[in-house]
Amino acid sequence: MCVDFTDLNKACPKDNYPLPSIDRLVDGASGHMVLSFLDAYSGYNQIPMYAPDRDNTAFITEQANYCYKVMPFGLKNAGATYQRLMDKIFHNQIGRCMEVYVDIMVVRSCSHQQHLRDLTEVFQQLKRYGLRLNPSKCTFGVSAGKFLGFMLTSRGIEANPEKCRAILEMRTPTKLKEVQCLVGRLTALSRFIPRLSEHIKPILNNMKKNVPRHWDDHCEAAFSAVKNILTNPPIMSRSEEGFDLQLYLSTSGHSVSAALIQETPVFKLIYFVSRTLQGAEERYSQVEKVALAFLTAARRLRPYFQSHQVVVRTNHPVARILRKPDLIRRMVSWSIELSEFGLRFEPQGSVKGQHLADFAAELLTATEPSVWNLNVDGSSDKRGAGAGIVLEGLNGLLVEQAISFTFQLSNNQAEYEALISGLLLAAELDIQHLECRMDSQLVVGHINGTFQVKDNHLLRYYHKVSDLIKAFNTFRIIHVPREQNSRADLLSKLTHSRGNSQLTSDIIQLIIQQEQGARVSAADSKRIARFTFIGDDLYRRGYTTPLLKCLSSEEAKYVMQELHHGICGSHSGKRTLRAKILRAEALATISARKVQSFIWHLICRFGIPQKIITDNGRQFIDRTVEDFLKGLGIKHVTSSVEHPQTNGQAEATNKAIISELKKRLGQAKGLWVEELPEVLWAYRCTPHGSIGETPFNLTYGTDAMLPVEIGEPSLRRHIQDMTLNEEQLRMNLDTLHERREIALIKNEAQKRLITRRYNTKVRPRHFTEGDLVWRKRGDARKNKSHGKLADNWEGPFRISKDLKNGAYQLEYLDGKMVPNTWNVTHLKFYYS
């Protein structure tokens, strides 16, 4: 009978109690003289089910409904629950005299007398907790036995003979299922097979999709090679604490491998790791493959790396590569991941042991470095000197470097400097075999001894190069034509190439020569085709833009400075609803008389308005201001108390001004008076998103000229016609009223759009005259002594008048009017 617990497992949360590492358990149980293997009887069924959860395990049969009283097999958290139980029962024995993996136990000792004491201690714990064993699966007092797929002996960890025999007796696979079965069996023994991925590469290729499956001679040879290894598999050992571990790395075109050993106090094989390269990994450079092998070993053998000092034995410059600051992205992440282990690097040197010797021999065959090619070139002229270096290695690895010299050099000295820099770069990468190519026949002749060094300055360079050459096992320098050294030649000239001003001068000279009838090459003619003269200035024809003025470096610096740090440098243009003309004035104190003077200034410039909206500040509701506005026939409307949205235009404008002042002033907040005129100018001349026009344009009918056009005149300033300009300004005034109406329509449409969006998220609230309401108590009206316990609402009040648009006038219950108007956001119903 089999019960399906799929739905129950989906409904249960995952128990995050971890199962122990198999490698750690196998290492801990290996290398002992006496072993006893124990197996729990009926495993999970020895744990009783929690009574309230028994009904969840119920199942239906034809005779009756049943449920489990003990923990059944098939539950998602059964393994973690059982492991937690075993860890609690044997917490004093685990790691000292026994190892436990779920219901499988092994008791290990170094002598028979000690083993009897350990077994007595273990059986006492079994009896105490009522845990039963399966006698048919228990073995006591043996020198070797199987544990978690490995054979444990006093010599160490050996491959399971049954698993090896299954592969040795396996016939040649003919079907995909048989190939997959073979690969699965080999993977289970991967710890004992050095460079497994490299050996079975032909077999793995036979499993790929969209590839014809055919067991060829390469597959048969790989199968035979693996069988030869398994006829006498290596014996692995556990590592000794307090001694270093050594890591050997190996790479090939299709796989990376590593071997972990311990040389002291006695030589031991610990672990073999291998991995097949996938996709783009096969195109990695040799150094990147070595680093990937290193990373794979560190991830797979992390417990060993954390508990021991690991010495990496390799002849590749992987240590220096990983420490370089200018690594590519993946190498940077690898370097950071490997930095936690505190590793040491040493040359490979000689190796011990037959299996490790075979591993190292294959390593040398697969990864023996070939000769690196070094192309260098130096150049010097009146503009400066530079060097170009191109270092090409295995698998197309390319290192390029361009060097600029800040001191004066002759051309021959620049060639020597380039050669010295290239040799230093090669030495830094631990390159042993180098072939150098130069187009300087003099320098090549000096190094090869065919030319005599007569110049004292060059003699010093010659001795320096001779000393650097001694660091390489083999070195050869040959002379090549300049055409074969073009890449290094280009790099050397990039460091002191001409700037934009020189480029502009060259183009101007070519245009003048062409206009004078002189012959210009096809390349130069194509180069100047998109340039033209207007007056004394050079312009370039853009593809999607008007004529582009060519600037010198100083002129370009001025333009960028003016655009990003000038009067409009804060870039205040953004989507906004503000479309009215802005007037602001800096005042030390705001009094009723100054407010009246400011309003009179606006009236004299723009005329008498129909209505003025202000907040409830004392300077705005003063009797003097009220009489002044009333005498001119201007309606004065105050916003609701504590609801600045009613006076949104002024509030939003103040916010914009303050924001721009903060950007300009930084820490010098006291200088805002001097910066205010420029902030106002930038605001008035910035197009607003809600109307697509600038306030300056809607007021005067035309746009203002940017300050940068005054300092650096544009094309339209050079070719402008003043008479035509005057006519155009008058035409703009004729269409000003129409543009204002269009802007008003756009603004109203934008307001309605935002209103519609806002209303979809807001539940409307409405009061009628006579309703009793609470009024929100502002901070100014709260009792300071109450602190956070002060009431947030006060009242009740009665609605005396509905002013529409959410504004109301209130009165006390005795009929006395409450000053000012109040918005609905500050009111709520009063229920007695």
* pLDDT tens track for 810-819: 999 888 998 8
Q: At which of 367, 402, 419 does a domain end?
A: 367
How far is it, in rounded angstroms, from Cα 214 to Cα 207? 10
Is 505 within the bounds of a domain?
Answer: yes
C-beta separation of 77 from 11 below 8 A: no
pLDDT at 397 over 70: no
> Other C-beta atoms within 10 Å of 682: how many?
20
Bigger pLDDT: 533 vs 646: 533
Give 499's pLDDT tier (boundaries 50, 70, 90). very low
pLDDT at 369 over 60: no
Question: Mind listing the pLDDT tens digit for each residue in 623-634?
Answer: 888 888 888 888
Give yes or no: residues 600 and 541 share one domain.
no
Q: For position 363, what pLDDT does the model report? A: 45
Q: Which domain holds residue 527?
A: 500-550
pLDDT at 732 over 50: yes
Question: Mind listing the pLDDT tens digit for each residue in 671-721?
Answer: 666 777 777 777 777 777 677 788 888 888 888 777 777 777 776 776 677
Q: Please enumerate in sequence order all residues whose Cβ is within 8 A of that of 778, keeping only pairs 6 or more positions apart, or say none.
A: 641, 642
Give yes or no: residues 248 and 271 share one domain.
yes
Report the number of distinct structural domains present in the chain.
6
Give 498's pLDDT tier (boundaries 50, 70, 90). very low
pLDDT at 669 over 60: no
- Average of per-residue pLDDT values in the chain: 79
Give yes or no: residues 518 and 666 share one domain.
no
Does residue 173 have a cis bond before it (omega within 30 degrees)?
no
Please enumerate, as own/partner, the contacts of 614-618 that have beta carbons within 8 Å and a separation of 24 or more: 614/638, 614/639, 614/647, 614/650, 615/639, 615/644, 615/647, 615/650, 616/641, 616/820, 617/590, 618/592
Is 644 within the bounds of a domain?
Answer: no
Q: At which of 352, 367, 382 does a domain end?
A: 367
**CATH code of the domain in which 448 resides:** 3.30.420.10
Give yes or no: residues 107 and 29 share one domain.
yes
Residue position matching structure tokens 């003269």 = 533
Asked which of 107-116, 367-376, 518-527 is least confident by mean pLDDT, the reply is 367-376
Give yes or no: residues 116 and 252 share one domain.
no
Q: For position 798, what pLDDT does the model report? A: 92
Please compute the mean of the pLDDT values over residues 62-70 and round it to a whole number: 87
Cα angle: 595, vertex 596, 599; to 5 degrees? 85
Please compute the mean of the pLDDT values over residues 37-53 and round it to a whole number: 85
Asked which of 103-117, 177-191, 485-499, 758-772 is least confident by mean pLDDT, the reply is 485-499
Is 43 within the bounds of a domain?
Answer: yes
- Among 130-139, 355-364, 556-565, the range of highest mean pLDDT: 130-139
Give yes or no: residues 39 and 126 share one domain.
yes
Q: At which of 155, 174, 203 does a domain end?
A: 155
Q: For position 362, what pLDDT does the model report? A: 47
Give 512's pLDDT tier (boundaries 50, 70, 90). low
C-beta separation of 693 from 743 below 8 A: yes
How do strand 548-549 and strand 537-540 relate by DSSP bridges?
antiparallel
Is 630 within the bounds of a domain?
Answer: no
Determine if the pTM surpasses 0.75. Answer: no
pLDDT at 107 over 90: yes
Please compute the mean of the pLDDT values over residues 382-388 and round it to a whole number: 77
Give yes or no: residues 272 and 229 share one domain.
yes
The two three-digit tokens of residue 192, written as one number: 């004992």
Give 140's pLDDT tier (boundaries 50, 70, 90). very high
Give yes or no: residues 736 and 809 share one domain.
no
pLDDT at 797 over 80: yes
Asked which of 257-266, 342-351, 487-496, 506-515 is least confident by mean pLDDT, the reply is 487-496
Is 767 within the bounds of a domain?
Answer: no
pLDDT at 350 over 80: no
Give yes or no: residues 189 and 280 share one domain.
yes
Is 621 within the bounds of a domain?
Answer: no
How far is it, in rounded angstroms, from Cα 749 to Cα 691? 10
Is 471 within the bounds of a domain?
Answer: yes
Bigger pLDDT: 217 vs 212: 217
Q: For position 542, what pLDDT does the model report? A: 65
Is 462 within the bounds of a domain?
Answer: yes
**CATH code of the domain in which 816 resides:** 2.30.30
Give yes or no: residues 80 and 135 share one domain.
yes
Q: Indicate the angle between helix axes 286-300 and 329-338, nearest 10 degrees.
A: 40
**CATH code of the domain in which 89 resides:** 3.30.70.270
Give yes or no: residues 361 and 383 share one domain.
no
Please compute the mean of the pLDDT values over residues 343-370 and round it to a whole number: 57
pLDDT at 367 over 50: no
C-beta separation of 226 from 305 below 8 A: no
Give yes or no: residues 337 and 225 share one domain.
yes
